[in-house]
Each structure stands twice: as structure tokens, then as C-alpha cells.
Amino acid sequence: MGVAQFKSSGKCHCVLICEFVAFHGYQEGAELNPHSISIAVRACASVGSNILGRQIHTAVIKHGFESDLPVMNSILDMYCRCGCLSEAKEYFNEMSEKDLITWNTLIAGYERSDSIEPLFIFSQMESEGFSPNCFTFTSLIAACANVAALQCGQQVHGGIFRRGLDGNLELANALIDMHAKWTHGYGKEAVELFDEMVRSGIRPDQVVFMAVLHACSHAGLVDQGLRYFNCMLDDYHIKPNQEIYGCGVGLLGRAGRVEEAYHLIRSMPFMADESVWGALLGACKAHNLSKLGKLAAKKALALKPNMFETYVMLSNIYAAEGKWGEAERMRKLMKRAGSKKEAGRSWIEVRNQVYSFVVGNKMDSHIERVNEVLELPVRHMKEAGYVPELVCLIHDQEDRT
């Protein structure tokens, strides 16, 4: 059986494709060609098998395909998609020939890791005479959005306009999503970009509406966000998915219109998932609506029983009501379910330099200076007579569980 036959059988035979090429690559007289190798490498990437991918890479070297750039690009993509970024970077540096696809592949690989590295790779790419295209900028925008690099993102945005690529739908979607994630005062920019996109004749899709609703939610533009939601339904006949309904619930909930958010959930044409109920729970917690909050938490846990944040918020609701037995029961259920909160990570950009912070990490060179600065507001609050609320203390204790 040949590789093409495996391919036609569907994705479930990806591993067979990989093993076929990896095995035949070691056989004397075996006939491999760039096409079959590329299929196998893509299969390795799709199932995340870097072990088989390395075997195919060895077969490539043995059969002398190192000069075939499409094959080498596919291997680079495989390392990136399997999360082997250090190997991908090393392999990239060893490549004797590179094209724009090579650079885009490495940039996209690092973008998926929530790293600022894509911006450095892009700078190196330009210094070697390569011009970016839409795929390059899409990854760069996502990288800036992921790490909240505002100034870098604005420079990338400017580069898109200078090159006349602002009419591209994928880039427009990525730009709106970037501005939507910059929620500290930049929600209006996302809305303006959306309006400009519509005026230019570009038809927004689900991704665009989700981004602009998210921006409206964090910027407090509730009425405008609801107009976009209705516009999506009435003017563009786009049916909202779970994520968009979640944005709508968050939009109403942040503004204190929690009952309306609940009615929106009840009007959904399909069953709400845990993310939608989670958005309602967050709103109930923020506005001290314990009865509806408990309902939302139970709905979310029924759909996904190992959600750490849901247990924490439900425990806090019971504690705020003085129901300590129920609060303790939630903590025990959380431990029994094996729930564990992922370490929080945040970024800050200072003078075009991005600094990363991880909860509990005391090894960074700048951590002592950060702690000194953090002590100042704590000292000022104590001097002003501030006493933390009980619920806040409970939440802090739970975060350390």
C-alpha cells in the first residue's frame, strides 16, 4: 500500500502514514519522494508525534532530500506544531536555504507559545531582505495581542497600512481581536476599526463579531455591543455560536444587567456550555447575586466537573452567606476532582521591552524590584486604615490551594 492510499483513508490513518515512511526510509532501495515525505510529515504534525517526525527527518537526510525546500519547510512546521521550538530554531538556523514560507512557519510556531520571540524573528527576517505578507502579519498581530505589547502592535498595524494590506479580511479580523484584547482603554479603538472595516466594504464574520463584542464588554460599551449583536443577526444573518453568546452574556453581566444575561442564555437555540454559564457566574459574583450564581455554578460543573475557578467562586458564595459547611464541601469536591489552577501569567511593556511575570516565580532578576514597588500600595492602604473584605481573604486562600 502506498502513501496516497493511506492518505485517502482519512485522518485516522495519520500514524500509519508516519510509520510507513519512517520504516521505508531505512530500507535499501526503498523509493521515497518529496510528495510522500511531505504527506507523512504533515501527518506527524497533525497527531503531535515528534518521535515519528524525527525518524522521518532521519530518512530525509539519508535519502538526500535536504536540498528540497518544501520538504524542509514541512519538517520545520512539524517541529513547531509538536511544540519542539528549541529543535525548530536549531533546525531553522542550520537550513542552507530559506524562503518566506520558512520564516512564516517559525514565526507562527513561536506565536502559538505566547512568546514575544516572533517579533525578534520578524526583525531578523527583514534584515535578511525578506518582505512580510498577510500570513506574517497575522502571526505578528496575534503575538502582540497575546503578550499585550501595545507599542509593538501599533507598529505592526502601521506596517500593514504602509504595505496596502489593510483590506485583507484575515488581517482585519486579527487586528480587531488584538485591540479587543487590549481592554485597558483600547476597546473604542477596536470598535472604530470594526466600523472602518464595514465602511470599506469588508463583510464581517463570526470571528470579527466575537472580537468586537469582547471589546465592547471590557470597554463598558453595552448598548453599542447589543447593537452589534442584533446587527449580526438581522443584517448579516450570522447565527451566534457558544463563544458569541458567551460574549453577549459577559457584555450584559459586566454592566450589572445580570437578569438580562440569564434571559439571553434561556433564549439560546441550543444548550449553553460551561463557558457561557461561567460568564454568568462571574457576573453574579461581581454583583453579589448568590442565588443565580449558585445556579450558574451548578450548571457549569454539571457540564465540566473539574473547573477549578467554578469551585472557588461557588465556595466563596457559600462563605459570604455564612454557610461554612457548604464552602468546605466545595473545597473537598475540588480536591477530589483533581482540579488545579494554572499559574497566572501576565506581561507588561516598558520602553519597548516586554517583561513576563508568573505567579509564584521568585527566580526572575527583576522580581525583587517588583516586590519593593508592590509593597508601597500595601503600606499606603494599611496607613489609610483599609481592612480587606472577608470574601477577598477567602478567595486569596483558595488561590493558594
Rounded Cα distance, 144 and 347, in Å? 11
- Say which range, 4-8, 55-59, 229-233, 287-291, has the weakest mean pLDDT: 4-8
Rounded (10°) CA dihedral 203, 208, 213, 215: -120
Query: Position of cell 438581522?
Result: 234
**pLDDT tier at 172 (50, 70, 90 boundaries)?**
confident
Q: Which of 165, 171, 174 is nearest to 142 (CA)?
A: 174
Q: Half-sphere exposure of 319 toward its Cβ, with a 13 Å CA cutoff?
A: 21
User: Span 40-45, mean pLDDT?
Assistant: 84
Question: What DSSP assignment string belongs to 25-62?
Answer: TTSTT----HHHHHHHHHHHHHHT-HHHHHHHHHHHHH
The per-residue pLDDT for 48 is: 77
The per-residue pLDDT for 99 is: 96
User: Span 25-45, mean pLDDT?
Assistant: 72
The per-residue pLDDT for 344 is: 56
Domain boundaries of the chain, sorted by first residue: 1-97
pLDDT cut 70: percent of the chain above it: 79
The per-residue pLDDT for 356 is: 64
At 171, list the grid cell.
488581517
Which carries the bigger pLDDT value, residue 175 or residue 299? 299
This prediction's pTM: 0.54
Cα–chain center distance at 379: 36
Helix (H/G/I), strand (E/B), else coil: 257: coil
* pLDDT tens-digit readout, 216-261: 887 888 999 999 999 999 999 999 999 899 989 999 998 899 999 9
Is residue 53 scored above 80 in pLDDT? yes
User: Span 119-129, mean pLDDT?
Assistant: 90
Is residue 78 scored above 50 in pLDDT? yes
The per-residue pLDDT for 351 is: 63
